[in-house]
Every structure is written in structure tokens, then in C-alpha cells.
Amino acid sequence: MPFVTISVLKGKSSEYINAVADSVNSAVIATMDFPADDRYQIIHQLDAGSLQLQNSNEDRLMMHLVMRAGRPDKAKQKFYQQVVLNLAQSPGIKPENVMITITENHDVDWSFKDGIAQFVV
């Protein structure tokens, strides 16, 4: 899975946070061909003034994915569609209140442990 940073409004329950994490994870697996056991997520809770999304005073979410280059544009577009559907279903965030960005990098840009670039060894 890509490395995903997710920002939500402060004060959410652990059930809400888990629903966000699961919704994002299942969309990644369903649309971008990542292994089911890869899950690297950080979820930040921010106050409303620190999580500003144009024209939204409601519940909102912003996420940024960093992943190895090579996923087709169509897969990314399917991900965008699937993840907002998942988040609308659980925990109930409207699709228009979700912002997503993706940054791609290369194999040498990853070290999961031991100071080794596992993709290039």
C-alpha cells in the first residue's frame, strides 16, 4: 500500500478513525493492485481552523498518498471514485468534502526497516 497521510477533524471516535482507515485501505486494494497486507497510514486529527477545505463547513477529510510510480491513470481515477463512495458509506463523509492528492516516487525512495532500500536490494 502507499504511505497514506489522512487528516480529519479533531474529536472523532476510535470507531470513526477505524472506519476512515478501513475505507481508504479497501479502496486502495480494490483499485490499485496493492497487496492486502500492506497498510501504512497516519491519521491526524486537526481543529477546524487547521483543516480548511474550500467551501466546506461540514465534516471533511484530506488525504495524501505517496507511492511508487507506475500505477495507471485509470486506476487512480477508480481509486478516487471508490474511496469517496467508501467514506460516504462509512463513516459518512460527503464526497464533495474529500480532497485527495497522490505523489509518486521510485524504488530507491523506500526503506521499510534496517536502513535498507528493500525494493532495490
- Can you give the CATH number for the domain in which 91 is found? 3.30.429.10
Residue 44 lies in a domain: yes
| Angstrom distance (rounded) from CA 62 to CA 100 | 6
Range of the domain at 38: 3-109
pLDDT tens-digit map of 27-76? 999 999 999 889 999 999 999 999 999 988 899 999 999 999 999 999 99
Please state the pTM of the whole predicted model.
Answer: 0.94
Whether the CB-CB separation of 39 and 1 falls below 8 Å is answered with yes
What total of structural domains would you count in the chain?
1
Residue 96 lies in a domain: yes
Residue 115 lies in a domain: no
| Angstrom distance (rounded) from CA 31 to CA 80 | 9
pLDDT at 1 over 90: no
Residue 118 lies in a domain: no
Residue 120 lies in a domain: no
